Amino acid sequence: MTGAESLQLFQELVASGNELFLSDEDFVVINGVTKPTLKKIYADFLASMNTYPSVAEGLTETNGTGTQNRFFTVPGTGGTFETRYRNDAGVAVQVGRASSADAIENVLSLVSAVDGSLLYYLLDDLGFAWGSISSTGFDLPGMAAKQKEQEGTSMLDPSDFLIFDDGPDGSTFGAVSSRRTPGDEMMVTDPLGFVWCDLKKPGGTETKTPPSTIPLISGPICGVQGEYTSIYVRNILPVRSDTNLVRGTIASRSLPEIITSTDEIKFRTQDLGSQAYLYLRSELTSASRTRLTLNCVSAPNPGTGAGAILTLGDSIQNRQGGTQQKQFLESWGYTPSFVGTINGSSAVDDPDNASGELGEAREGWETGDFTYSVTDRVSIVEPGAEAAYLASNKATKWPINPFLRAATGSDDSSIVRNGRVFDPAFYQSRFGIATPKIVNIALGTNNVRDRSVAEIYSNAYSDLLLMVNQIRAAWPSAKIVMSCPSTPRDNIRDPLWETKYVPLLRAMLQVRNDVSNANVMVFPVWAHVTQEAGYTITSPVTDPLTGAVTGALGDAIHPRESTRQQMQKAYAKFFACVLANLI
């Protein structure tokens, strides 16, 4: 083929293509063959989709009645890609519209990195906006959600009343609220604040188990006429809690006196008569309750009675114990005498002060320092050194145990601890101590400090049983009372209450039961003293408006001020009942 022939063929092909693609006719004839034009092909495609160039053509090509061939589509312009119609008896009724790419791009152009940016409008069939979605929430008819400036999420109704709130401290949904508590628990409360259940694990709920209602308390409950006595319900339970509460009720068995509380039961023993029931019931159940019978004793006020009191204690008794007990007793008409070889402190803030009452209360001592089951703190008064010991100052006396003597071959092995014997009769004879009417064993706080969870019960039981038996052997008529001061509510002391204090108190109660003698008692001083006040605050932060200070407990061992007086007054009531020969 020559170049001229090739050019002629090319020109013929271009002419045929122009006829096919550009002609206004439906068909053209090329080389004797009839072919549809592009116009015809596109029209046939649109017809197959019921898409027509105009509304008029769509009405012509569709039916105005019936269920077949009623709908058609017309291409749009600008922001509309196409519009869908229904032929109603020759009238085009719009039933839908699709936005063009330009319209969508205009909406997307509104999106930015700025908080609160509009992301989407929600449109109805007529193109009216009925809702929106932004980067911080959504707005729908009758409801909206928006991210808060503070941590958490809230949902409000159209009147801006709270429907739902979730924040770092808990959640609220309608009338039900959940608030986080210290530790691993979350509690759900009703509108009145009563606990409904715990949310203990993420994603699930666990109904609270009612706590133990077996009380750590024993009688007799001692009072003085005209004076009020308190029993703190939370102080006599094995587990401390501000939410899983137990309701306590003390009810006289002979008089119309009944008091109920989940915290402090306050009463006068004279209003209870000789016996009362202590009822305990978990607020989570009414299916059962615990009842303990308590003997009640009221010392006369004013009264009369005298006798010697010997206290074996630690720093809590050293710090104004004998001084305050004597003051209360004398104000009620009693004349106690305190005996021992070392003076306690009568000063508020000076434990080394030696102007207080005599006794054997020594800072830092535990039961094992008296029995010599613990050997790293104390020594004995060597034979012949009694006068020198008595003449020495308080600091010199502090680490010397005047009850100890060297064991001999005639001693039963059950009373020997590391070659020494706790011997109250020997102590009395060598130091000329008057026979005590009351022996007050007020120990245990330092056992909690030094003994492990595994050993504290057996250690306390062994020491206390030895001490009680040896005291009974020396002074058969003496009233022997065991007690341990309580400890305040605190993130450190609370776990110790359950793991150490409770076993220690049970050891005391078991010694009393095993000895089984009317002169051996447990005085529940821990039940009579508040957990909430009377302890120092460390590193306090002061509110500039009110002057209130906030901080953690500093000294969580030694009660001060009114709490110290409350404790020593409770001891004095017990002593008054003994001095009045009521127990």
Residues of the chain with CATH 2.60.40: 221-298
Q: In this predicted structure, what is the pLDDT of residue 361?
A: 98
- Orientation of helix 424-431 relative to helix 456-474, angle to 10°: 50
Cis upstream peptide for 524 (omega within 30°):
no
Q: In this predicted structure, what is the pLDDT of residue 331?
A: 98
Q: Can you say how many angstroms the Cα of residue 229 is from the centroid of all Cα atoms in its chain?
A: 29
CA distance 359 to 316: 13
Model pTM? 0.66
CA distance 253 to 256: 8
φ, ψ of residue 108 to 5 degrees: the values are -65, -30
CA distance 121 to 132: 4
DSSP 350: -
Q: Among 3.10.20.30, 3.40.50.2300, 3.40.50.300, 3.40.50.1110, name the CATH number for the domain at 300-579.
A: 3.40.50.1110
180 beta partners = 186
CA distance 27 to 79: 34
33 beta partners = 30
Tens of pLDDT, residue by residue, the chain (583 residues): 565 665 566 666 667 666 766 777 888 787 777 878 877 777 766 666 788 888 898 898 888 888 788 888 888 887 888 888 898 989 999 888 877 777 776 766 654 444 556 666 667 666 666 677 776 666 766 566 666 555 666 666 665 666 666 766 666 666 566 655 555 555 555 555 555 555 554 444 455 677 889 999 988 999 999 999 999 999 999 988 877 789 999 999 999 999 999 999 999 999 999 999 999 999 888 888 999 999 999 999 999 999 999 999 999 999 999 999 999 999 999 999 999 999 999 999 999 999 999 999 999 999 999 999 999 999 999 999 999 999 999 999 999 999 999 999 999 999 999 999 999 999 999 999 999 999 999 999 999 999 999 999 999 999 999 999 999 999 999 999 999 999 999 888 999 999 999 999 999 999 999 999 999 999 999 999 999 999 998 888 999 999 999 999 889 999 999 999 999 999 999 999 999 999 9
Residues of the chain with CATH 3.40.50.1110: 300-579
CA distance 268 to 228: 5
Give pLDDT tens digits for 496-515: 999 999 999 999 999 999 99
Sort strands 420-422 and 404-406 into parallel, antiparallel or unpaired. Answer: antiparallel
425 and 403 Cβ atoms separated by less than 8 Å: no
Q: In this predicted structure, what is the pLDDT of residue 112?
A: 43
CB within 8 Å of 256: residues ≥ 6 apart:
none
CATH architecture group of domain 221-298:
Sandwich (2.60)
Name the strand (E) or helix (H) holding 574. Answer: helix 561-579
146 and 137 Cβ atoms separated by less than 8 Å: yes
Q: In this predicted structure, what is the pLDDT of residue 50?
A: 80
CA distance 29 to 474: 139
CA distance 340 to 403: 11
361 and 344 Cβ atoms separated by less than 8 Å: yes
The per-residue DSSP string of 396-433 comes to HHTTEETTEEE--TTS-GGGEETTEEE-HHHHHHHHTP
57 and 75 Cβ atoms separated by less than 8 Å: no
CA distance 308 to 89: 118
221 and 294 Cβ atoms separated by less than 8 Å: yes
Residue 118's closest CA among 127, 101, 102, 131? 131
